[in-house]
Amino acid sequence: MICEDCGHETSETPFCVRCGHRQDRPVSSDALRQYSADPSESAISFHVVTTLFPQLPRDDLTAFRIVLLLGVGLVVALAIVGFFSIALVAAAVLVPVIMVTYLYDVDVYEDEPLRVYVLTFVWGATTGALMGLALRALVDVDPLGPGPDAAFLFMRGVVVPIVAGGLALIGPLILLPYKRFNDVLDGATFGASSAVAFVGAQVIAQSIDLLGAGLRPGGDTLLWIARLLTHGVALPLVAAGAVGATCGAFWLRYRAPVRDRARLGLLGQPFVALAAGAALLVAAALAMLLAREILALVIVAVLAAIAMVWLRLVIHLGLLQESLEVPIGDPVICANCGRSTPAHTFCGQCGVSLRALPKEARRGRASSAPPPIGTAGPTQPSGEPAA
């Protein structure tokens, strides 16, 4: 049969195996189509777990949601009992640790784990720590004084977040020429990983004085909770969305098929993406400088939602970009729903992207059927850069 959405031949299954469109639903009702990694969600929606961790079956997504919620609960609980220093460390490492666990679980880094970890997580954590130490040398605002002057706001609210975003980008962009990592999804994942490591390390390094003040340095508990959630949850999401989506734009422009390079519009242009990412980081920094703690948390949370939707669109495109040229293969077992589906890009039974499942699951079925998009085709023997 012919899919009404993508216009290509597909199997007679509930979902199109090429584009993931639900066959019994009119195209006009799909808006921007269901999200490639989870057809029960829209591509334009705010879902933290399915955006940051798209390469997971639904059962594993539930586990990651629980871990994230438990982590946030632990940070709040530590703040309530007054252990602000420990809560700060817990908040700073929460998202990076979950991200490392995810990357290990789905084997995103293929056969180059050491090199890619160095250029994403290690790079992000090292540069973030150095940035945090450098910021401690800057003159802070006197809390009893008139507030920050224009020069301070420009430096800490504009220059610092732009430099931080640039530093977080450099490590992942070194991987751009490597043919092994040729998907938009690779770029988005590398950028988000570097960004969350950068923010976590920067927060800890910048707070050395607080960590030396003991377990109970004092202060209003409610304000501490707002401050911790801002730095430990909301700000890493802003950074992950801004840097990850910007990296994805570079991969889209220089690594994706020509036919897909205009599908994100202006946000798919690397230098426009750079400007948009910088704007998100600057807005978050200014909010934390100018607004009270609770208001700052609200503002940064809104910016995090915007950044996550942008990153989600990049990931959605990354999962779709190679689906139209691959022939439909023999039946395989979907690692998500456990039912038989023709081997291609999407499961014809549950609609989940087979490209979005862990690589171990995709490798496990490779012996019985042609692998889905993203695993087929020649591999580079040594991960050498593209010419």
Q: What is the pLDDT of residue 7?
A: 66
Q: What is the pLDDT of residue 224?
A: 87
CA distances from 64 to 60, 105, 110, 335, 353 (A): 6, 11, 21, 17, 18
pTM, two decimals, is 0.78
Q: What is the pLDDT of residue 380?
A: 39
CA distance 243 to 227: 22
Q: What is the pLDDT of residue 264?
A: 82
3-state secondary structure 5-39: CCCCECCCCCECCCCCCECCCCHHHHCCCEECCEE
Query: How crowded is residue 58: how many other Cβ atoms within 10 Å of its Cβ?
Result: 14
The answer to whether the CB of 20 falls within 8 A of the CB of 3 is no
Q: What is the pLDDT of residue 41?
A: 74
For residue 361, give the amino acid letter.
A
The answer to whether the CB of 41 falls within 8 A of the CB of 50 is yes
CA end-to-end span of the chain = 41
DSSP state of 347: -
Q: What is the pLDDT of residue 184?
A: 86
DSSP state of 230: I
Q: What is the pLDDT of residue 210?
A: 67
Cα dihedral sign for 319, 320, 326, 330?
A: positive
Q: What is the pLDDT of residue 366?
A: 39
Chunked in runs of 10, what are the mean pLDDT values of the chain (387 residues)? 74 80 62 63 79 73 86 91 86 88 68 74 93 78 54 88 95 88 85 94 83 60 90 93 94 80 84 96 94 93 94 82 68 82 83 63 43 38 42
In sequence order, the 6+-apart residues with CB closer than 8 A to the CB of 95 are 196, 199, 200, 232, 233, 236, 237, 240
66 sits in the region (left: phi over 0; alpha: psi -120 to 50; else beta) called alpha
Q: What is the pLDDT of residue 145?
A: 44
Q: What is the pLDDT of residue 215?
A: 54
For residue 217, give the amino acid letter.
P
